[in-house]
Structure 1
Amino acid sequence: MGSKIIGIDYYFPKTTLRNSDLAVEFPDYDFTKIEKKVGIHTRYISAVDETALDLAVKAAEKLMLRFDKNAIDFILYCTQSPEYFLPTTACILQNRLGLSKNIGALDFNLGCSGYVYGVSMAKGLINSGQAKNVLLVTAETYSKFLHKKDRSNRAIFGDAATATIISYDEDEGIGDFLFGTDGAGFDKLIVKNGCSRFPFDKEADEITYGTDNTYTDNHLYMNGPEVFNFTNAVIPDFTNEVLLKNKESVTSVDHFVFHQANQFMLDFMRKRLKIEKEKFYNDLADGGNTVSNTIPIALKKLSQNLDYTNPKKLLIVGFGVGLSWAGGLITINNKL
Structure 2
Amino acid sequence: MPYAQLGPIAVHLPARVETNEELQQAFPRWDLKVIEEKTGIAQRHIAAPDETSSDLAVAAAEKLFAEQQIDPSTIDFVLFCTQTPDYPLPTTSCLIQDRLSLPTRCGALDFNLGCSGYVYGLAMADGLIQSGVAERILFLTAETYSKFIDEDDRSLRTIFGDGAAATLVTASEERSMWGFQFGSDGSGGDMLLVGDGGARPAGDAIKPRHRKRWKSRLYMDGPSLINFTVDAVPRLIDQILQKQGLSDKDISQYLMHQATWKMLEQLRLRMDLVPERLPIELADVGNTVSCTLPILIDRLRKSGRMDRQSVNMLIGFGVGLSWAGCLWKDLSGG
TM-score by length of 2: 0.93
Match of 1:155 among 158, 182, 185: 158
Query: How far did residue 246 of structure 1 move?
Result: 3.1
**Residues 215-234 of structure 1: CA distance to partner in whole angstroms, max 9, x if unpaired?**
25xx0000111111111221
Letter in 1 for 2:312: L
Give distance in 1, aligned partners of 2:13 and 2:51. Answer: 12
Contact 1:26-1:151 at 8 Å conserved across structures: no
* 2:219 alignment partner in structure 1: 221
Whether 2:303 is the aligned partner of 1:305: answer yes
- SS of the residue corresponding to residue 312 of structure 1 reads coil
**Residues 110-139 of structure 1: CA distance to partner in whole angstroms, max 9, x if unpaired?**
100000100010000001111101111000
Give distance in 2, aligned partners of 1:220 and 1:309. Answer: 38
* 1:179 alignment partner in structure 2: 182
- SS of the residue corresponding to residue 182 of structure 2 reads strand
Structure-2 change in CA distance of 1:310 and 1:290 (3 Å): closer
Whether 2:125 is the aligned partner of 1:127: answer no
Give distance in 2, aligned partners of 1:104 and 1:285. Answer: 36
Query: How far did residue 276 of structure 1 move?
Result: 2.3
Unaligned runs of 5+ in 1: 201-207
Query: How far did residue 253 of structure 1 move?
Result: 1.3
Give distance in 1, aligned partners of 2:79 and 2:245. Answer: 28
**Residues 148-170 of structure 1: CA distance to partner in whole angstroms, max 9, x if unpaired?**
21111000000000110110011
Whether 2:118 is the aligned partner of 1:112: answer no
Alignment length, in residue pairs? 325
Give distance in 2, aligned partners of 1:262 and 1:51. Answer: 24
Give distance in 2, aligned partners of 1:318 and 1:309. Answer: 21
Contact 1:9-1:59 at 8 Å conserved across structures: yes
Letter in 1 for 2:74: A
Describe how 1:285-300 pairs up with structure 2 within 5 A. Answer: 285-300=283-298
Structure-2 change in CA distance of 1:299 and 1:89 (3 Å): same
Query: How far did residue 177 of structure 1 move?
Result: 0.5
Unaligned runs of 5+ in 2: 204-209
Which consecutive segments of 4 or more residues in structure 1 shift more than 6 A? none
Give distance in 1, aligned partners of 2:14 and 2:238. Answer: 36
Give distance in 2, aligned partners of 1:11 and 1:231. Answer: 28
* 2:207 alignment partner in structure 1: none
Query: How far did residue 312 of structure 1 move?
Result: 2.7
Give distance in 2, aligned partners of 1:154 and 1:308. Answer: 32
What percentage of residue pairs aligned between the two structures are identical? Answer: 44
Query: How far did residue 30 of structure 1 move?
Result: 1.7
**Residues 182-221 of structure 1: CA distance to partner in whole angstroms, max 9, x if unpaired?**
0011111011111111359xxxxxxx968xx5225xx000
**Which range moves more in the overlay, 180-189 or 1-10?**
1-10
* 1:276 alignment partner in structure 2: 274
- SS of the residue corresponding to residue 30 of structure 2 reads coil
* 1:189 alignment partner in structure 2: 192
- SS of the residue corresponding to residue 17 of structure 1 reads strand
Root-mean-square deviation (CA, aligned residues, Å) is 1.7
